[in-house]
Structure 1
Amino acid sequence: MDATFPRARKNQLGYKTSEVEEFLQRARRAYDGRPLPDDAPLDSERIRLTAFGMQKGGYSTAHVDAAMERLEDAFAFQERQIASRLHGDEAWLSEARTTAQVVANRLARPEGQRFDRVSRLALGYNVREVDRFADRLTRYFRDGWPIAIDDVRGVVFSAQRGGYRESQVDLVLDAVVDVMLAVR
């Protein structure tokens, strides 16, 4: 039987193949509207937050991550179509505008104060790097400057003692992705 994705080398870590395969089967059932009774609900946000275990010789992380992004896009598109039929496009876009305003308000804070900081002894995201990326996002929301959704999904910040709290930054980045998917 052929593998769904290319594999990492035998001595390198990749995603656990059984977890990826099980998730893809569940996603297919959810997308087709035929989930099993014990399947947990699945939507674009849950897809974005899904994490797989690692194993030597597992599936290539780059290939699986790319497929997960396409799957998230497909679910988001389906969610928008359903919401549009039930509530109309304006309701869907209104929710996206509200989320965008919340994000824009957060990003409008002064540099170095946009997010909570961890203690000086703990590691968080590099403040300067996050603020630089936040400025790009501000231009996207305020001025319509182009930024790709993959740039938001794939941004990586180095660690810094006393840096920004990672979970808070990640939540805002997830909200940005939600807005970008909503207005596609």
Structure 2
Amino acid sequence: MSSPFPRARKPKLGYHTGEVDEFLRLARRAYDGTPAPGDRAITAESIRLTAFGMQKHGYSTDHVDAALERLEDAFAAQERRTSALLYGQEAWLREARTTAQVIANRLGRPEHHRFERVNPLVTGYRVEDVDRFADKLTRYFRDGWPISVDDVRTVTFRPQRGGYREAQVDLVLDAVVDVMLAVR
């Protein structure tokens, strides 16, 4: 059987092939509506949070990550259709607007105070980097400035002792992706 992704070239590590293959089997069954007994639930959010082990000559991380992004988009669209059928399109959009308002409120806080800070001896995200990106997101939500889902998915922040708490920033970025996918 041929490989679904190119392999990582030496000396780079790639994603564990067995883990990726198994996840894709689960995702295919979930998307088709034919999960096997004992399969875990797969959602757009769970796809975004998926991580794989690393191995020599594993799958190319860039190729798998791109496939996961497409898969997340497909699941988000399916979830939107299902929700619209069950609750109506307006309910789906109302929930997305509510989430967007919560995000906008968070991002509207004063600079250097948008997120919790970690202990000065612990490394977090650089405050200036996060605040700069938060300003871009604010313009997206307030004024409709262009920013893509990929921009949010791939943003990186430099480390800083006493910086913003990474988990809190990441949760907000995940919520931004959810809203962006909901209104596509």
TM-score normalised to the size of structure 1?
0.99
Aligned partner of 1:178 in structure 2 is 178
* SS of match in other structure, 1:172: helix
Q: Secondary structure at the match of 1:11?
A: coil
Distance 2:7 2:127 in 1: 36
Shift of 1:9: 1.3
Q: Which digits, 9 at most, give the CA deviation of each residue in 1:81-107, with x for residues without a partner?
A: 011111110000000000000000000
- The corresponding residue for 1:163 is 163
Equivalent AA in structure 2 for residue 11 of structure 1: P
Divergent runs of 4+, >2 A: none
> What is aligned with 1:7?
7
Which residue of 1 is the match for residue 88 of structure 2? 88
What whole-Å deviation, never above 9, does each CA across 1:128-179 have from its counterpart, x for those lacking one? 0000000000000000101010000000111000000000000000000000
Show CA shifts across 1:17-56 (max 9, x none).
0000000000000000000111001110000000001111
Cα distance in 2, alignment partners of residues 109 and 151 from structure 1: 22
Equivalent-residue separation in structure 1 for 2:93 and 2:104 (angstroms): 16
Structure 2: which 5+ residue stretches go unaligned? none
- Cα displacement (A) at 1:2: 1.4
CA distance in 2: counterparts of 1:85 and 1:18, whole angstroms: 36
Q: Identity, % of aligned pairs?
A: 72
Q: Alpha carbon RMSD of aligned pairs, Å?
A: 0.6
- Tell me if 1:43 matches 2:43: yes
Match of 2:34 in 1: 34
**Structure 1 segments unaligned to the other structure (5+ residues):** none
Question: Does residue 1:108 correspond to 2:99, yes or no?
Answer: no
